[in-house]
């Protein structure tokens, strides 16, 4: 399906970094004009900063146009870990999306774009969320207006 999306001229495709390496290598090599988002999701928690940076660097070396790292926030401090990846990646010239899932991860979704993330994810309606802890577009806009 992803190969067909490229053939049809998709602007972006999102590929899980855990995908079989031989396929992933060929896929990235043949992406044509499509930008590849390499994604990593950790539904159990947030690794250490050292592990997160190592993962970001590996995804960059694999040729990600955009690195996407999403973890589950088990503590408020997990937001700080994930958000610290944004300036880290940007200093290396790597575009990144880095947010936490879960109730305690909402703050990362607010601050990620303000720190320079490529984007964040926000449904138009609460019943259309794709991950726990997502704020709606209206909720984000209200918070951003208050912060500015």
**CA–CA separation, 109 vs 78, rounded Å?**
12
Catalytic site includes residue 104 = no
Sign of the CA dihedral running 122, 118, 14, 83? negative
CB 76 within 8 A of CB 106: no
Instruction: For residues 37 and 34, give the distance between their C-alpha atoms in angstroms, rounded to a whole number.
Output: 10
Q: Which of 20, 31, 32, 41 is catalytic?
A: 41
Which of 31, 68, 95, 106 is the catalytic position?
A: 68
Picking from 85, 7, 102, the residue whose alpha carbon sits closest to that of residue 47 is 85
Q: 41 an active-site residue? A: yes
CA distance 5 to 15: 12
Q: How far apart are CA 82 and CA 123, in angstroms?
A: 21
Residues with active-site annotation: 41, 68
């Amino acid at each position: 399906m992803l190969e067909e999306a490229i053939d049809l001229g998709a602007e972006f495709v999102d590929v899980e970094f855990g995908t079989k390496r031989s396929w992933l290598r060929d896929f990235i090599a043949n992406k044509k004009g499509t930008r590849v988002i390499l994604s990593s999701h950790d539904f159990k928690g947030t690794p250490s900063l050292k592990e997160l940076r190592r993962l970001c660097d590996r995804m960059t070396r694999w040729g990600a146009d955009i690195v996407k790292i999403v973890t589950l926030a088990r503590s408020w401090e997990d937001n700080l870990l994930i958000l610290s990846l944004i300036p880290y990646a940007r200093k290396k010239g790597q575009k990144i999306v880095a947010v936490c899932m879960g109730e305690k991860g909402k703050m990362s979704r607010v601050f990620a774009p303000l720190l320079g993330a490529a984007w964040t994810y926000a449904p138009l309606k609460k019943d259309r969320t794709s991950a726990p802890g997502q704020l709606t577009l209206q909720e984000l806009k209200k918070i951003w207006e208050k912060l500015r």
